[in-house]
């Protein structure tokens, strides 16, 4: 403890284990131990010496707190003025960037302001905090109250009203962007349950390669799908959607071909595949991560988020992990030009459970 070092002026070194004539674990003063240098001389801060500098520091602190308020409000305004409902990638990037800048400014400014307040304005003296038994008797409570009063006096919390009010404003304004973001959880003008239950797939929609983002590659012919190959697939007409990324998130599919002899299909699903080619939703039924790791030899699909595994040779049933339902299967067939097309939408909602899902 600091008091021990100060009292003796020497550092304490433990006695070597098993030394002759000394109890194990006791401490003795070692003559060659490093001396305790003590505290360096106290240097007063410029704000302690110059009232003008104190005032300037106060201005800096409340300016930073107000800057934090501006950042929080800026994030809310950015959310309103750069909407993401268009679904365009550029709009989403602009939205994310400005909301992020606002929230960063809010958090940084309040953090820097608080540190500057502590370093430049609050009382600057060293003190020894003596250990004492914790008790809740009357004198202790009175002492606690005195400490609060002293802290209030020394920090200037009550006296420096601009600093105090701007800090309170910053702390009140900071959660606003987070609350505002909740608005994006569901569209106001559409029934979210209907949106969750249907995807863009419908009878005759061609299966096309997913080339990333909002772009769509070429349609896929059955002849292109060799045994063991896997395609990440979206509807060919995805680009016509008003909300491309949301539609893609629901409609994305994994297409693969297995040896027909390996496929276990129930009677009512025998017509859903084409010569061993099967298509399953890529959205994990646990909490919606993309299921994308395929083990060709075992026919297992692995979700990287929580390790759920699905057997694509057996209607994508769950064989391991927290997912509770198989991946929904997209019924497919081939059109007159040999392209793979959907027979219909999925027969059940894709992805995780939600409040109105029946199974
Ligand atoms: S989201 Fe796939 S296992 Fe959790």
107 sits in the region (left: phi over 0; alpha: psi -120 to 50; else beta) called: alpha
pLDDT at position 137 is 84
Q: Which residues of 165-200 are buried (b: 16+ CB within 10 A; e: fewer)?
A: ebbebbeebbebbeebeeeeeeeeeeeeeeebbbbb
Tell me what the mean pLDDT of segment 31-44 comes to.
Answer: 78
Are the C-beta atoms of 114 and 122 separated by less than 8 Å? Answer: no
C-alpha R_g of the chain:
34
- Is the CA virtual torsion 207, 209, 215, 218 positive or negative? negative
List residues near ligand 1 (CB under 6 A).
284, 286-289, 303, 305-306, 308, 321-323
Q: What is the pLDDT of residues 242-273, one digit of tens each?
A: 888 889 999 999 999 999 899 999 999 999 99
pLDDT at 280: 96
Of 16 and 320, the structure prediction assigns the larger pLDDT to 320
Taking CA atoms, 215 is separated from 1, 233, 255, in Å, by 66, 11, 18
Residue 22 has pLDDT above 70, yes or no: no
- CB neighbours of residue 325 within 10 Å: 18
207 φ/ψ angles, rounded to the nearest 5 degrees? -85, 125
Instruction: Indicate if the pLDDT at residue 15 is higher than 60.
Output: no
The reported pLDDT for the residue numbered 1 is 36
Partner residues linked to 256 by β-bridges: 230, 278
Mean pLDDT of the chain: 85
292 confidence band (pLDDT: 50, 70, 90): confident
Q: Are the CB atoms for 318 and 302 separated by under 8 Å?
A: no
Report d(CA 5, CA 168) in Å as an integer. 42
For residue 287, report the distance from its CA to the centre of ligand 1, in Å: 5
Structurally, what CATH architecture does the domain formed by 192-342 represent?
A: 3-layer Sandwich (2.102)
Residue 98 burial by Cβ neighbours in a 10 Å radius (0-12, 13-18, 19+): middle
Give the pLDDT mean for 63-73: 97
Q: Would you kindly state where each structural domain of the chain is located, as residue ranges?
A: 1-40, 50-125+137-185, 192-342
Helices 161-173 and 89-116: angle between axes, nearest 10 degrees:
150
Q: Is the pLDDT of residue 183 over 90?
A: no
User: Which residue's entry shows tokens 């403890």?
Assistant: 1
For residue 171, report the phi and psi dihedrals to the nearest 5 degrees: -70, -30
Shortest-distance atom of ligand 1 to CA 321:
3
Output the residue whose Cα is nearest ligand 1's atom 3.
Answer: 306
Q: Whose CA is nearest to atom 4 of ligand 1?
A: 306
pLDDT tens-digit profile of 121-134?
A: 998 887 777 776 66
Average pLDDT of the residues in 309-328: 94
Confidence of residue 136 (pLDDT cuts 50, 70, 90): confident
Of 207, 206, 298, the C-alpha closest to 254 is: 207
Question: Distance, CA 288 to ligand 1 centroid (Å)?
Answer: 6
Whether pLDDT at 8 is above 70: no
- Answer yes or no: are the C-beta atoms of 342 and 203 closer than 8 Å: yes
Distance 328 CA to ligand 1 centre (A): 15
Give the nearest ligand 1 atom to 352 CA. Answer: 1
What integer is the mean pLDDT of 167-186?
Answer: 89
pLDDT tops 50 at residue 81: yes
Index of the ligand 1 atom closest to the CA of residue 323: 3
Helices 51-81 and 89-116, interaxial angle, to 10°? 160
Half-sphere exposure of 310 (CA within 13 A, CB side): 29
Average pLDDT over residues 319-336: 94
Which atom of ligand 1 has the smallest separation from the CA of 289?
1
Name the band, by pLDDT with cuts 50, 70 and 90, for residue 27.
very low
């Amino acid at each position: 403890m600091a008091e021990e070092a100060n009292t003796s002026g020497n550092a304490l070194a433990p006695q070597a284990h098993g030394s002759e004539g000394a109890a194990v674990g006791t401490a003795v003063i070692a003559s060659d131990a490093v001396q305790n240098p003590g505290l360096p001389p106290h240097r007063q801060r410029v704000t302690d010496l110059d009232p003008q500098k104190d005032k300037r520091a106060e201005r800096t602190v409340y300016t930073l707190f107000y800057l934090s308020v501006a950042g929080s409000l800026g994030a809310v305004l950015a959310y309103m003025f750069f909407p993401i409902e268009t679904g365009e990638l550029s709009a989403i990037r602009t939205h994310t960037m400005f909301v992020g800048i606002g929230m960063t400014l809010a958090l940084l400014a309040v953090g820097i302001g608080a540190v500057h307040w502590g370093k430049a304005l609050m009382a600057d003296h060293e003190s020894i905090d003596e250990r004492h038994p914790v008790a809740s008797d009357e004198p202790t409570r009175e002492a606690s109250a005195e400490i609060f009063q002293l802290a209030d006096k020394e920090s200037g919390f009550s006296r420096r009203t601009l600093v105090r009010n701007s800090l309170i404003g910053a702390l009140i304004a900071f959660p606003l962007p987070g609350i505002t973001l909740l608005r994006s959880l569901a569209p106001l003008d559409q029934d979210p349950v209907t949106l969750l239950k249907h995807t863009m797939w419908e009878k005759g929609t061609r299966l096309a390669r997913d080339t990333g983002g909002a772009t769509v590659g070429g349609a896929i012919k059955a002849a292109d799908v060799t045994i063991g190959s896997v395609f990440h697939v979206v509807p060919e007409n995805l680009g016509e959607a008003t909300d491309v990324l949301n539609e893609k998130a629901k409609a994305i599919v994994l297409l693969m071909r297995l040896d027909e002899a390996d496929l276990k299909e129930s009677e009512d699903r025998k017509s859903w595949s084409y010569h061993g080619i099967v298509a399953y939703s890529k959205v994990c039924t646990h909490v919606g991560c993309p299921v994308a790791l395929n083990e060709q030899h075992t026919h297992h699909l692995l979700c990287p988020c929580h390790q759920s595994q699905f057997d694509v040779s057996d209607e994508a049933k769950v064989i391991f992990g927290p997912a509770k339902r198989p991946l929904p299967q997209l019924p497919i067939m081939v059109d007159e030009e040999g392209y793979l097309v959907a027979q219909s939408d999925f027969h059940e909602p894709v992805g995780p459970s939600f409040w109105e899902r029946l199974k």
